[in-house]
Structure 1
Amino acid sequence: MPDSKPQTFGDLEPSGWPGERLGLPNEGRGSVARAGRRIAALLVDWASAMLISLLFTPYESAAYTWVTPLVFAVLQIVFIPTIGGSLGHRLLGMRVIPLDGGWIGLKRPVVRTALLLLVIPALVWDSDQRGFHDKVAGTVLIRY
């Protein structure tokens, strides 16, 4: 009798909810953060980066265009390992965790942020609602 277990990723059964295959609950604390919450957090983070950038560069300058993403990246890389997420994540009740447990370290936030700044990886999601930037970094954004 042939083995009925899926052999490749494309053969996997659809999950009942985002995070089911990761062992996360369907809703509440510890569940995968949904799109609305994630987008709101991103807007908070980008707005805070814009405000901080205004302290260093004039709004209509070319420098402002480059300083804002740099400030955004620094905020992400500093706050994810120290407080568990960006300011937007924490304000909206989320945190970034590594899939293998433990401390997230510095490498994961750097990889995650670099891919997030490319925008497209953040728009490519899997059935667990993890963006490509989270998949590559080995992280998941959960409700906390």
Structure 2
Amino acid sequence: MSSRQQPRWTQTWLGGVRSAGIDLGYPGERLGLPQEGSGSVAGFGRRIGAVLVDWLICTWAITQGLLRLDPTREPWVPVLILAAEYLLLVGTMGMTFGMRLFGVRVAALDGGQPRFVPVLVRTFLLCLAVPALIWDRDQRGLHDRAANTVVVRL
């Protein structure tokens, strides 16, 4: 069998369900969000950039700034500072410094500000890292699904 005559299941497996002709819509369509612009689901680049900026801020605060600790001796301290930043800033403003820089915010599924308990759940799962690495078709990690939140563009 030549490469042009691949079975349909191989095309689906190699190219994803969209290559098999299955239309899943755009990310956020099931949630009632627009496809583009303000309020649409934020892309992976923006989200990863925001987390990296927040992580760099937390690491700087430990090594050079406030605490002057060696993060290699206390590896849990940067995670605690990141969690405190997320709880404080996402819980009050809906975004961290990195999110503001990259033009995204955390929103409840109704479009409003997430409440404290969902922010607490989201932050705890985000600090575990693994739930944030598993996404659904709306580009929501397990931490967002558990908290009923979504990261949207400003």
RMSD: 1.5
Partner SS, residue 37 of structure 2: coil
Partner SS, residue 20 of structure 1: coil
Paired-residue identity, %: 47
Instruction: Report the TM-score, using the length of structure 2 for normalisation.
Output: 0.80
Partner of 2:4: none
Pair 1:136-2:146 in alignment: yes
Pair 1:74-2:81 in alignment: no
Q: Which runs of 4+ in 1 moved over 6 A?
A: none
Cα drift, residue 127 of structure 1 = 0.4
**Runs (5+) with no aligned partner, structure 2:** 1-21
Aligned residues: 131
Partner of 2:110: 100
Q: Take 1:62 and 1:31, find their aligned partners in 2: how far apart are those partners? A: 41
Query: Which deviates the most, 119-128 or 92-101?
Result: 92-101
Q: Take 1:43 and 1:61, find their aligned partners in 2: how far apart are those partners? A: 18
**Runs (5+) with no aligned partner, structure 1:** 1-12
Instruction: Report the TM-score, using the length of structure 1 for normalisation.
Output: 0.85
1:18–1:128 Cα contact (<8 Å) kept: yes
Pair 1:62-2:73 in alignment: yes
CA distances 1:59-86 after superposition (whole Å, capped 9, x unpaired): 25422x1211000000000000212111
Q: From 38, 47, 52, give the equivalent of 2:56.
A: 47
CA distances 1:9-50 after superposition (whole Å, capped 9, x unpaired): xxxx75311000001111111100000010000100100111
